[in-house]
Amino acid sequence: MADLITVRSGHNDKRVALWERHPSHPGGEVFIAGPKDVRVAHTPEVQKRLAHGGLVRVDAPDPTSEPDETPDESLFADSLSAIKGIGPATEADLVSIGIRTFAQLAEADAEDLATRLNGSTVNQVAFWIEQAKAIVRAP
């Protein structure tokens, strides 16, 4: 079992602090954007981000407190930047409004989402939604 540590983004905004696939991370992948504390493996990339301030190590929770039964949603996130036209900044914006998976994006309303994402047109968002639907339908 890998050495796990608790970190959070070192950025004061919603920029992606870390997105990494590595077998040592819980679930094999980690995505960090925003102030949420996340358990990660102490990989070379995590060490680099800690050294440069992109990630901040936080103290472990009090072992006498009751564990949080809510699963860490970052473990269930898809790499939305795999969709043409979605880069890291837009992916972070989508995550910040609760869209973390291709299925969630496929079910979204293009007009509503374009309104919530400043700078994205309805046509752009509709294109992303169609790509997400195709991914969800794929075997």
Helix (H), strand (E), coil (C) string for the chain: CCCEEEEEECCCCCCEEEEEECCCCHHHEEEEECCCCEEEECCHHHHHHHHHCCEEECCCCCCCCCCCCCCCHHHHCCCHHHCCCCCHHHHHHHHHCCCCCHHHHHCCCHHHHHHHCCCCCHHHHHHHHHHHHHHHHCC
Is it the case that residue 12 has pLDDT exceeding 80? no
Model confidence pLDDT, tens digit, residues 73-115: 444 678 888 999 999 889 888 988 888 889 999 999 999 999 9
Model confidence pLDDT, tens digit, residues 17-72: 887 888 888 878 888 877 778 888 888 888 888 887 888 888 655 455 555 555 54
The pLDDT of residue 74: 47
**Terminal alpha carbon distance of the chain:** 32
What are the residue boundaries of the structural domains of the chain, listed by start?
Answer: 4-65, 76-137
CATH topology of domain 76-137: DNA polymerase; domain 1 (1.10.150)
Confidence of residue 1 (pLDDT cuts 50, 70, 90): very low
The model carries a pTM of 0.49
Residue 45 tokens, joined:
């990339």
Confidence of residue 16 (pLDDT cuts 50, 70, 90): confident
